[in-house]
Amino acid sequence: MAGVRLLRGEGRYYFPAARFDILSHMRFNRLLAYLSGCVTIAASLLIYLEYIHGLGFPDGFITELGYAERNLARVLIVISIMLGASFIYLGVVGGRELIGRKLSVAIILYVTFIISVSVIDYYCRLYLSGSGGG
C-alpha cells in the first residue's frame, strides 16, 4: 500500500496527509492531561484546607458529621493525588504514544469518584448530627 506508514510502533496505519491531525490531537491530549493533573492536585489542597485543617471548634470538639467528613476527605485526597500523578505521567508519555483512551478512562473514573463522594457527603449531612445550626 503506497503512502501508508506505521505510526510509532503502535500497529495502526495512517495516511501521511492525516499526520498533522494526529499530532494536533496528541498535543491536545498532553495539554488536557497536564491540566487535569493540576486541577486534581489543587482540589486535594482545597479539600485539605476546608475539611481537615479547619475542622472542629476552638475547644477541640468535633461532631459526628465532622468525623465522617474528615475520613471521607482523607480518602478523596489520597485518590486525587494518585490520579493527579497519573494524569501528569500521561502528559509526559503523551509525546511518545497515543494516550487518548487512557486519558478519557482516567477522567471518567475521576468524575465518577467525585460524584460518588458528593452523594456520600450529602447523605452524611442529612442523617448525622452536627449538620444543623441549632
What are the tens digits of pLDDT across the range 70-85?
A: 999 999 999 999 999 9
Tell me, yes or no, whether 119 lies in a domain. Answer: yes
Tell me, yes or no, whether 3 lies in a domain. Answer: no
Tell me, yes or no, whether 68 lies in a domain. Answer: yes
Task: Say yes or no to pLDDT of 56 above 70.
Answer: yes
Look at residue 6 and give its three-state secondary structure: strand
Report the run of H or E that residue 14 belongs to, with start and end: strand 13-14
pLDDT for res 55: 78
Q: What is the mean pLDDT of residues 113-128?
A: 92
- Between 50 and 22, the more confident residue is 50
Tell me, yes or no, whether 115 lies in a domain. Answer: yes
Residue whose C-alpha cell is 503512502: 3
Tell me, yes or no, whether 4 lies in a domain. Answer: no
Structural domains in the chain (count): 1
pTM for the whole structure? 0.74
For 76, the domain range is 18-127
